[in-house]
Structure 1
């Protein structure tokens, strides 16, 4: 099944900026603004113990998942326990179900990774399908896993990071199950409070080792989301130096 593109020009639609109930996960305690009104139509914020999600009832996936990742959270090293589950805070008509992913050919891809979680309860939250997108298996276990590992390495080095991870839907779209959209691209924004700079890991949702590092400004144009409303355009165009994705310990 395919669906038409539901993103439009970043600058052609009025901003949608709902107050956030989980400001602790965002730079300056301010959540991103949704520029594209089609994305905002069925957007619902969910606050979890260690991350916040803006969920779309259109794609039945997160628009983004945000974390404030500290070195102490990584040091907790909570043993992984896979407990994928439907998100009961969402209406059934707007959420993905476990059966949607069954035999779909796609992984249930975490946006805020389980390995970032500081407690068992936070890790259990991370297995909510509200924090998942249909992700190519090779991408999920390959380059994307390395990007997540590199991000934790940088968090240890910097002390803390603000992170926003999410999908982009562009072109003619595929879906799985009962209308869960498959992302075209996946991104991870990294902001270092220490350096006061940001940059973005960006990948196609497909097999291979390719990735790009782009600016927040570039990502905003692609996504229809204003990720850092208080940040200047000049600063959004700057690039934080990001580590090469590899198997960091």
Structure 2
């Protein structure tokens, strides 16, 4: 659409009226530019990473931004990002058995969060000073430097098949501040258990959504910029699984979920502490639960009704 702004101004009765009209159309142009690239409201370019191509219902609100995570010109997974918190609320992906080792981490960021006309492709951090727009729009490596937190993957690299898919998980828009006791302890064990269940019992795709829960009573921040989660959570959906499951495995299909502690000083209303756990891991416990229980926890903490998988993956 072409706007004849000079003609509009010539019809105006005052300089102020002309300025207002110009400002209005510049605003329209700005709004139109914000839908460029892979940032949209409903993951329209990467719905294959969700069961029945349906993103979770209820997980939305002011400040949330969907990202179709793109690396080497291919979609790899999807993340719902919170701009003010500078962390993802969740990442959604299809699990696969890795065909190689964990890659050397080349950390990346999302130019599209900073610039409305940027290419929709994650970009590696390098020695070039970052534009202030990038620093304001998302977490950067400096935020984690000399901190007591690791860079915790929501979509873990070893849940991805190819080296390219694994490399794509090293974007900070897939990362939250995670305590080492959780990241390399009980949460790491959970990730391995989910992968084993997929390989042993799934006969089709397994859809995984993994996310983070902020503190209920006042946010806590890394470097005064990045929201620290109190808990990690994860759920899977495996609609096609073996007809004859072992008795102890039957409750785990087609869905199951878990919540893990990221703060050993948190209360025990969501996840209790195992007093017999090794001291270095105590307080980073993981509680496994049915999908509906996780959705109730999320709904209470986030104050919105939640449905992670369409039709409960039935």
Aligned mate of 1:191, from 228, 234, 237: 237
What's the counterpart of residue 107 of structure 1?
A: 150
Written as runs of structure 1 = structure 2, the 5 A alignment for 1:116-127 is 116-127=159-170
Q: 1:61 to 1:23 in 2, by over 3 A?
A: same
Which deviations, in whole Å up to 9, do the C-alpha atoms of 1:163-192 show, x marking residues without a partner? 000001122221012410000110110111
1:55 paired to 2:119: no
Aligned pair count? 213
Written as runs of structure 1 = structure 2, the 5 A alignment for 1:39-188 is 40-48=62-70, 49-70=75-96, 74-91=97-114, 92=134, 93-157=136-200, 158-159=202-203, 160-169=205-214, 170-188=216-234
What's the counterpart of residue 5 of structure 1?
A: none
Q: Kindly indicate whether the alpha-carbon contact (under 8 Å) linking 2:43 and 2:66 is maintained by their aligned counterparts in 1.
A: no
Q: Kindly indicate whether the alpha-carbon contact (under 8 Å) linking 1:27 and 1:228 is maintained by their aligned counterparts in 2.
A: no
Which deviations, in whole Å up to 9, do the C-alpha atoms of 1:70-95 show, x marking residues without a partner? 3xxx1513442111223323222221
| Cα distance in 1 for residues equivalent to 2:210 and 2:237 | 12
Q: Kindly indicate whether the alpha-carbon contact (under 8 Å) linking 1:21 and 1:47 is maintained by their aligned counterparts in 2.
A: no
Q: Which moved more, 1:193-202 or 1:131-140?
A: 193-202
Q: Kindly indicate whether the alpha-carbon contact (under 8 Å) linking 2:178 and 2:229 is maintained by their aligned counterparts in 1.
A: yes
- Greater share of residues in strand: 1
1:18 paired to 2:18: no
TM-score, normalized by length of structure 1? Answer: 0.77
* Secondary structure in 2 matching 1:168: strand
Q: 1:107 to 1:156 in 2, by over 3 A?
A: same
Q: 1:83 to 1:139 in 2, by over 3 A?
A: same
Q: Which moved more, 1:181-190 or 1:214-223?
A: 214-223
Displacement of 1:20: 3.2
Q: 1:79 to 1:133 in 2, by over 3 A?
A: closer
TM-score, normalized by length of structure 2? Answer: 0.62
Q: 1:110 to 1:59 in 2, by over 3 A?
A: same
Displacement of 1:96: 0.3
Which deviations, in whole Å up to 9, do the C-alpha atoms of 1:190-224 show, x marking residues without a partner? 11112562111111113535211123223223324
* Larger RCO, structures 1/2 (Cα 8 Å, 6+ apart): 1
1:205 paired to 2:242: no
Q: Kindly indicate whether the alpha-carbon contact (under 8 Å) linking 2:43 and 2:78 is maintained by their aligned counterparts in 1.
A: no
Q: Kindly indicate whether the alpha-carbon contact (under 8 Å) linking 1:22 and 1:52 is maintained by their aligned counterparts in 2.
A: yes
Q: Kindly indicate whether the alpha-carbon contact (under 8 Å) linking 1:136 and 1:205 is maintained by their aligned counterparts in 2.
A: yes
Q: Kindly indicate whether the alpha-carbon contact (under 8 Å) linking 2:85 and 2:227 is maintained by their aligned counterparts in 1.
A: yes
Which deviations, in whole Å up to 9, do the C-alpha atoms of 1:125-181 show, x marking residues without a partner? 100000000001110000111111111111111243110000011222210124100
